[in-house]
Structure formats: structure tokens, C-alpha cells
Structure 1
Amino acid sequence: MDMREFAGSSFITVESLRAGPREEVVVSVAPGKYDKPVATFKSGDQLTLNKTNVRTLIKAYGEDSRDWVGCSIELSIGPTKYDGDQIESVVVKPISPPKPLAARTPVPKPPPPKNDMNDDAAAF
């Protein structure tokens, strides 16, 4: 019997990658705490995605996180800027080939902001 479902998930941290990088396959991405998405992997482990990692995955697989599902990525320790300082962080590197633009799920663009200026002002 596969006992992983009973072990619960754990979050991948810098400390968990000290032994070296690891490869994971994305199975889902959902909103997490602190306005950051959380990627869940085939292993059951999870990673809170910082802005740098989100930009990396968008460049490779598209703006819709559903397009990231099934993609292999490498997780390793790398530098990241935080509050103006360089710190160690978990960084992602795409392994699966980038998705062609035509194969990506289109993400609707937000409507332009409304102009609060009233052009119907009465003439004096």
C-alpha cells in the first residue's frame, strides 16, 4: 500500500535542498498564504512560489497555472533579493520544454480602468 497519502505534505525549504537539487512534477497550483501561490508536486510536497519563481514559470509555460500542471522543474538553492538584500532561496528551473504560445491557455486581460473624469460638464 502506498503510504504517502497518510504522511501529509511538507513544504520544500532551502534546508531541505542542502543535499542537492531535486526534480519535481507540478500537479496543481492554488492560492496560498501571504498572497503567494503554492505549487503541489507529484511527491506530495509543496512550494510557496515567490515572484521570481512565478515569473520564471510564466516565461516557460504561460500565464495560466493550469498550463504548468505536468511540467517537470528543478528545485535548487539560489540567490534572491529580499528587502534589498541577497538571500538564499528555493529557485525553480524549467526542465520540460517551454510551451508554444499557441498551446497556452489564454488569460483574459483585465478591463482598462474607468475614467472618473466627467466629460459632460455644463458650459458656463
Structure 2
Amino acid sequence: MNRRMLSREDEISAETPVTLSDQKAINTFSTLHSRHILLTTTLSEKATEKEYLTDVSSELELSDDDDLVPYKIGDAFVSLRVEEVRELLEGEIKVIDDEIEELEGKVRDDKEKMDELKVVLYAKFGKSINLEA
């Protein structure tokens, strides 16, 4: 069993009472952290989806505008001219760009709120609280 003496700093912070407002701040941080992880995962997925659509759009540049290519709408594939598919892909890429921008804003806002809470909680609890991933 590993035993050690508490330093004076650890001893003081171990005696720090947790008030209701402290508990609310900790819970808020936890909620923000969970949402931050979810948003960054979703952001990564959207970036990958945009990359795929951009690749497909680049591949279509090699085709003639009158060629027919399959385009997935829901669960069905429809044969459309390359020009129409390019336009549809541009629309999808624009929608994904808007979603990415919105997600980035939410991630940034959550990060700012988490940083503010970290300052407050670390100031009060010091090393006795761990707010890192």
C-alpha cells in the first residue's frame, strides 16, 4: 500500500467544503465537457462527409456533362446528368459547411465556458479536483 503525507496545500484543499454553487459549477462543467466531446465527434464526422463529397465532385470534373451517373436520393439511386449532380453536390457541400460553422461556434462557446469554470474551480479546490480529460 502506497502511503504518503499530505502536503500543506493538499491538506487545506481537502478540508475545503463543497457548497451548492460549487456542485452546480462542477455539474455544469461535466455537462459542457460531455457535450464538447459529442460536438467534436460530430464535427469530425461532418468534415469527413464534406471531404467525401468534395472528392466525388472532383471525380465528376473528369466526366462529360451529358453523361448519366447514379445519384442517391434516400434509399434509391436515380440516373442524372453530371451537371445536375454537380449542382446537387454543391448544395450538399454548402449545407455541410453551414453545419460545420455552427458546430465550430458551439464548440468554441463551450470551450470558453469550460475555461471560465476551470479557473473558478481550480482557484477554490486546487489539486483536489481534476477537470482534465
More helix by share: 2
Q: Which has the higher contact order (CA 8 A, sep 6+)?
A: 2
TM class by smaller structure: under 0.3
Which structure would you say has the larger Rg? Answer: 2
Higher strand fraction (1 or 2): 1
TM-score relative to the length of structure 2? 0.19
TM-score w.r.t. length of structure 1: 0.20
